[in-house]
Amino acid sequence: MTIPTPTVTRTWTCVLFDLDGTLTDSASGITSSLASTFETLGLPVPSPAQLVEYVGPPLLDSLQAFAGLDEEEARKALTVYRADYHEKGAFDSAVFPGIRGLLSRLHEAGIPLAVATSKPELQATRILEHFDLAKYFDVIAGATEDESRSAKSDVVADALRRLTEQGVDLAHTVMVGDRAFDVEGATENGLPTILVEWGYGSPAEAAGAIAIVHSTDQLSSLLLG
């Protein structure tokens, strides 16, 4: 992503973060578990580049769109994937450099924070607790186990609902993510998006974002001034 980054001078009252590709470099664990899933089901294993395309969108949708599975087949594959990922892939990831310090500074500044991810909520919480990041977030919102809530717009809406219940000021809320799905999900809820360059998106996915950042220092300056 190389489009110019505009100066954002707004004081934010709340920040929502995507998880995979934004807070954590999780592609290795996800793609490994996906490859194992395809092998277990006797299906052709996509190339490494193709597997990365699965990182970000709701997996049930991706299994149908990219692998050509029908819904029943996709749900079976999802069950196999989740079992493998829970045991092997979940912690095969790392917190991106600078993220921990950024979250700490935002927390110390008194800015409410939330996670909005298409990953199952229980799994997202487990991962954030493992990396000692859960303590920074007022809300961790994710997909339901049955995927009835998995679209990014629905997850963002759920995060906003729960923040509202906590009395959080949402007047100036921003989404931070790495994929077009983050931009679209935020836009459908009336939120602007800042995209991070270190994630799994492409330059084409930057359309609609108010800024693109290439470092956590740059992101910090946009969020904290």
pLDDT digit string, tens, across residues 156-186: 999 999 999 999 999 999 999 999 999 999 9
For the chain, what is the mean pLDDT? 93
Whether 18 sits among the annotated catalytic residues: the reply is: yes
Q: How many CA atoms lie within 13 A of 66 on its CB side?
A: 21
CA 123 – CA 215 distance, rounded (Å): 27
The 10s digit of each residue's pLDDT in 104-163 is: 999 999 999 999 999 999 999 999 999 999 999 999 999 998 888 889 999 999 999 999
Give the span between the Cα atoms of 166 and 162, in whole angstroms: 6
173 touches 15 (CB < 8 A)? yes
Task: Report the predicted TM-score, pTM, of the whole model to 2 decimal places.
Answer: 0.90
* Paired strand residues for 20: 24
Neighbours of 178 (CB within 10 A): 25
What is the reported pLDDT for 7? 53
Question: Do 156 and 191 form a contact (C-beta atoms < 8 A)?
Answer: yes
Q: How confident is the model at residue 1 (pLDDT cuts 50, 70, 90)?
A: very low
Q: Which of 18, 154, 178, 182 is catalytic?
A: 18
193-196/211-213 β-pairing: parallel
Per-residue burial over 57-78, b if 16 or more Cβ lie within 10 Å, else e, is bbbbbbbbeebebeeeebeebb
d(CA 119, CA 30): 11
Q: What is the pLDDT of residues 43-93, one digit of tens each?
A: 999 999 999 999 888 899 999 999 999 999 999 999 999 999 999 999 999
